[in-house]
Structure 1
Amino acid sequence: MTKITLERDGALPDGLRVARALSAPHLGPRLLFFSGGSALNGISQALKRYTYNSIHLITPFDSGGSSQILRRAFDMPAVGDLRSRLMALADDTVLGQPDIVALFSHRLAADAPAGALRDEVAAMTLGTHPLVKAVALPMRRLIRRLLQDFADRAPADFDYRKASIGNLIIAGGYLSNDRALEPALFLMSKMVDVRGTVRAVVDANLHLGVELADGRRLLGQREITGKEVAPLDVPIVRAFLDGPNGARPERLPKRNGKLIGQADVICYPPGSLYSSVVANLLPQGVGRAVAARRVPKIYLPSLGPDPEALGHDLAAQVGALLTPLRADAGSDVATRHLVSHVMCDRSVDPAACAAVTARHGIPCLRVPLTGARADRYDPQKVCEMLISAD
C-alpha cells in the first residue's frame, strides 16, 4: 500500500524534501489537482515556491454569472475557473507581469450602460485603454488581436456586464483556433509565464447535473452551488454530465490521461464537493487513469460549510469521490488505488476520521493544517504536506 510521510498525528513534513523543492522548484514534484473554482487559488499561489510542475485539471462546466453569458453566446465551455487558476500560477516576478495580470483580471462594471461597456472593450482592441497601454509590446499587439477576434464574433447585443477581460481574451483564442481550448490556454500560459500546467479536464460544452435524494434532477452548476439560487434542501445522490444531445459520457483526452500517468501525487483538494471536485472525475477514463498510477492519492476536504455536501459526513464525502472513480475503474479496484489517504486538520472530529477508515478502509490522518483562521487551510502547511507525500 502507498505510504505517506505524515504517518502520525502532528508529524512534521520531510524537511529535506521541502528544502530541496524550495531550492530548485523547476525540478519540483508533479502534484496533480482535480479542481475548480477559487478555493485552491491561495494554495496554488504558494505552490509556485515549491514546484513549477504542478498540474491542474479544471472543470469547464460552470453555468453561472458571466460564464453563462459566454456559454450561451458561443456554445462553448466555461473558462472562468481556468483563467482564475492561470492567474494564480502566473510568475509575478517577471518585469511587466503585474500589468498583464491586472488586465486579465479586470472585470467590467455591473451597472454601466451597454454602450459604455462596448466602448470600453473597443478601446482595449484599439490599444487606447490604460490597462492595455500599460502592457509592453509585442504582448500588447497579441492581446489586442485576441480581443478583436472576440469582438468580431460577438453578437450585437452581447451582455458585457461583469465580463472578465481575461475570459474574453481566452474566448477570442478559442474562437480563432477552430473552437479548441487547448491552444488558447497554452497561449495565455505563455503570456503570463504560468508555473505549472492548467487544462480543462475535457474540451467539451457540457453541463453538470445531479440527482437528489427525493428523485429530482437539476441541470447546471448554478442550480446546486447555493450562490445564485437557494441552497439545496435535500442531499445529492449522483452527479452526471449532460451535453446538447442529452446525458452522455465524455472521454478524458489522451493528453490529460498522460498527465495523470506522470503525477507524483494526486490531490482531491478543497472546494465545492460536486461542482469543483466530483465534476472532474465524471469523464470516461479518469478512474482508470487514477487507478493505474500508484502514487499517493490524497483527499483534502473543505473546512467551511459547503451547500453541495448537505447530508454528507466526511465518510460520505469520500464515497462521493469514489462513486465515479469506481464506476470507471471497475468495482473490483481497491479503494486505496483511487483514494489512498484523507488528510484532515486537527480540528476535525476524531470520530469522523474513524468513520472514514471503518467505511472505506483507508487512513484518515489529523494533522495541523490551518493557520490564523480555523476554516481556512494554511497554504504553506498544505504545500509542504503534499511535497512530503511518498
Structure 2
Amino acid sequence: MPTIVITRRVSVPDPQKIERYRTAPQNGPRILFFSGGTALQNVSRDIIKYTHNSIHLITPFDSGGSSAVLRNEFSMPAVGDIRNRLMSLADDSVLGNPEIYDFFTHRLDKTATQQELRNELKELSEGHHPLILAVPYPMRKLIQSSMISIKNHISDSFDLRGASLGNLVLTAGYLDNGRQLAPVIYLFSKLAEVRGIVRPIANATAQLAVSLADNRTVIGQHLITGKETAPLSTKIKNIWLAESQESPKHVSLSISSRTSALINEAELICYPMGSFYSSVIANLLPQGVGTSIAQTKCPKVFIPNTGTDVELVGHTLSEQIETLLFHLKKDNASTITTNDVLNLIVLDSDSTRYNGSINNDMLSREGISVVSYDLITNQSSPYIDAAVLNRILLSLC
C-alpha cells in the first residue's frame, strides 16, 4: 500500500472562485488538457459550465475502429478522439446542437451490406436522410457538402460498416482543406458552439509503438490499450512514434508554432487520468512539447489513474511519475527542471486505490506537492468523479 505524504494544503474546492467562473464561463480560465480517448468525456461536459476557454490537445495516433479504416484509406491522422471531444464540449442548450450531436455520434450499421450502406451514404449526400434533415441550417448545408465530398473520395473497396458520421465529416474537411485538420475543426467548433479549443497535438500520420519488458515490440495504439485485443500482460518499457504499423522505425515530429502558442497561453496544465501511454505520454512525444510547457508559467498538475489502466501493468505510482517526468524533460534534460513541468499531483484520499508505493523523498527533492482529496464518489466508482476533479482544477488556477 502506498505511503503518501501530503506536502501541500490548499483550499479545494474554492467556492468563491468556482462561483465566479460559473457566473461568467466566457471569462473562465484556460485549463489545458493533454489527452485522448474517452476518459475526459465527462470532465469536458462538466467543465463548460465554468469555462469556455479550456484547451484540449488530442492524440491523432488512434489505430482502431473506424479511425483505422479512414487512416488506411487516406493516410491521415486519426479523427475519432477529436470528434469525441468536440461533441463533449458542444453547448447542448443551443438550438440544433442536440441534433448535431446525434448526427456526429451516429454509426452506420455494422451488419448491413456494403450496397445498403452506399445507398444510405447517397441519401445523406442528397440531404434526404432523417439525421441530416433534423439538423438546422447552416450546419445542415455544411454536413451535406461533407457527405457529398466523402462519397466522392472513398474507393469502391472502402468498408462503411460501423463508420462514424462525425469521422466522415471531419475526414472530408481534412481532404478538402489541403490535408489540414485545423480549418475544419475551427469551422465546426464555431457552428456547433464548442465551448473550448480542440486541436491534434500534431497533424501527423505516425503510429504508436512500445517495447515491452520481454523484448517484444508492439505497433499500433489499438494493440496497446487492450480495448480491441487482449490487454498487455508485460510491462511497457518505452514508447515512440513509428513510421507505420509495418515498420517500427522512429519518426521525428515537432509541434507547430500555433500549438506551442496554445500551450504558452495556458493558466493551468493538466496531465489527466486516462490511458497513460497511448493518451497522455503520446501527446508528449513530438518535439517541442516539453520546451513549451517549461516556458509556460502556470501550475502543472498530474492526475494519476486509480488502478484501472491496463497500460500500467507492472508500474508503481512512483514509476508513473518518473516516466511522465522523463518525457516532459526529453527536449532538453540538462536545462528543463521538474519545477518547470510538474508542480502538483492530485490523489484520491484512499491511497489503496494506487499501485505500489510513492517515493516521498523524490517528491520533496523535486519540489512536487501532493493534494489529497476524495476524488471518487459512490456514483463514479471506481473512476474519478469529473465534477469533483473540475472543482479542484478550477480552484488551482
1:378 aligned partner:
385
- Kept in 2: contact 1:291–1:329 (CA 8 A): no
* Aligned counterparts of 1:269 and 1:351: Cα–Cα separation in 2: 15
1:214 aligned partner:
214
1:8 aligned partner:
9
The equivalences for 1:348-363 within 5 A come to 348-349=351-352, 355-360=358-363, 361=366, 362-363=368-369
- Once the two structures are superposed, residues 89-123 of structure 1 have per-residue CA deviations (whole angstroms, 9 ceiling, x without a partner) of 00111111111111011111111111111111111
1:316 aligned partner:
319
> Aligned in 2, Cα 1:56/1:97: closer, same or farther, shift over 3 Å?
same
- Once the two structures are superposed, residues 5-39 of structure 1 have per-residue CA deviations (whole angstroms, 9 ceiling, x without a partner) of x9338x53222111110010000000000000000
- Kept in 2: contact 1:90–1:195 (CA 8 A): yes
Structure 2 residue matching 1:198: 3-state secondary structure: strand
1:85 aligned partner:
85
More displaced stretch, 221-230 vs 201-210 = 221-230
- Deviation of the 1:331 alpha carbon: 3.5
2:3 aligned partner:
none
* Aligned counterparts of 2:197 and 2:179: Cα–Cα separation in 1: 20
1:266 maps to a residue whose letter is I
Structure 2 residue matching 1:91: 3-state secondary structure: coil
> Aligned in 2, Cα 1:354/1:21: closer, same or farther, shift over 3 Å?
farther
1:43 aligned partner:
43
1:3 aligned partner:
none
Structure 2 residue matching 1:194: 3-state secondary structure: coil
Percent identical: 43
> Aligned in 2, Cα 1:235/1:188: closer, same or farther, shift over 3 Å?
same
> Aligned in 2, Cα 1:47/1:351: closer, same or farther, shift over 3 Å?
closer
1:368 maps to a residue whose letter is D
- Deviation of the 1:357 alpha carbon: 3.1
- In the alignment, structure 1 residue 265 sits paired with structure 2 residue 272: no
- Once the two structures are superposed, residues 295-328 of structure 1 have per-residue CA deviations (whole angstroms, 9 ceiling, x without a partner) of 1111111224211111111111112211221111
1:196 maps to a residue whose letter is G
2:395 maps to a residue whose letter is S
Report the aligned-residue RMSD: 1.8
1:239 aligned partner:
239
* Aligned counterparts of 2:307 and 2:165: Cα–Cα separation in 1: 30
1:146 maps to a residue whose letter is S
More displaced stretch, 117-126 vs 195-204 = 117-126
1:157 maps to a residue whose letter is S
* Aligned counterparts of 2:381 and 2:234: Cα–Cα separation in 1: 27
* Aligned counterparts of 2:354 and 2:225: Cα–Cα separation in 1: 28
2:164 maps to a residue whose letter is S
- Deviation of the 1:353 alpha carbon: 9.3
* Aligned counterparts of 1:60 and 1:66: Cα–Cα separation in 2: 13
- Once the two structures are superposed, residues 201-260 of structure 1 have per-residue CA deviations (whole angstroms, 9 ceiling, x without a partner) of 000111111111122221110111112122112111111012358312100111010011
- Kept in 1: contact 2:329–2:337 (CA 8 A): no
- Kept in 1: contact 2:306–2:353 (CA 8 A): no
More displaced stretch, 262-271 vs 343-352 = 343-352
Structure 2 residue matching 1:328: 3-state secondary structure: coil
- Kept in 2: contact 1:318–1:356 (CA 8 A): no
* Aligned counterparts of 2:257 and 2:173: Cα–Cα separation in 1: 22
Of residues 297, 302, 307, the one that matches 1:299 is 302
- Kept in 2: contact 1:371–1:378 (CA 8 A): yes
Number of aligned residues: 384
- Deviation of the 1:138 alpha carbon: 2.4
* Aligned counterparts of 1:153 and 1:374: Cα–Cα separation in 2: 44
- Deviation of the 1:46 alpha carbon: 0.2
More displaced stretch, 227-236 vs 283-292 = 227-236
* Aligned counterparts of 2:268 and 2:355: Cα–Cα separation in 1: 24
> Aligned in 2, Cα 1:152/1:352: closer, same or farther, shift over 3 Å?
closer
- Kept in 2: contact 1:353–1:364 (CA 8 A): no
* Aligned counterparts of 1:352 and 1:220: Cα–Cα separation in 2: 26
- Deviation of the 1:329 alpha carbon: 3.4
> Aligned in 2, Cα 1:337/1:102: closer, same or farther, shift over 3 Å?
same
2:346 maps to a residue whose letter is M
- Kept in 1: contact 2:317–2:357 (CA 8 A): no
1:389 aligned partner:
396
* Residue ranges of structure 1 left out of the alignment (5+ in a row): 1-5
TM-score (norm 1): 0.95
The equivalences for 1:144-163 within 5 A come to 144-163=144-163
More displaced stretch, 319-328 vs 243-252 = 243-252
- Deviation of the 1:352 alpha carbon: 6.9
* Residue ranges of structure 2 left out of the alignment (5+ in a row): 1-6
* Aligned counterparts of 1:351 and 1:75: Cα–Cα separation in 2: 39
TM-score (norm 2): 0.93
Structure 1 residue matching 2:330: 3-state secondary structure: helix
- Deviation of the 1:332 alpha carbon: 4.0
Structure 1 residue matching 2:351: 3-state secondary structure: coil
- Kept in 2: contact 1:348–1:366 (CA 8 A): no
> Aligned in 2, Cα 1:154/1:292: closer, same or farther, shift over 3 Å?
same
Structure 1 residue matching 2:297: 3-state secondary structure: coil
> Aligned in 2, Cα 1:113/1:262: closer, same or farther, shift over 3 Å?
same
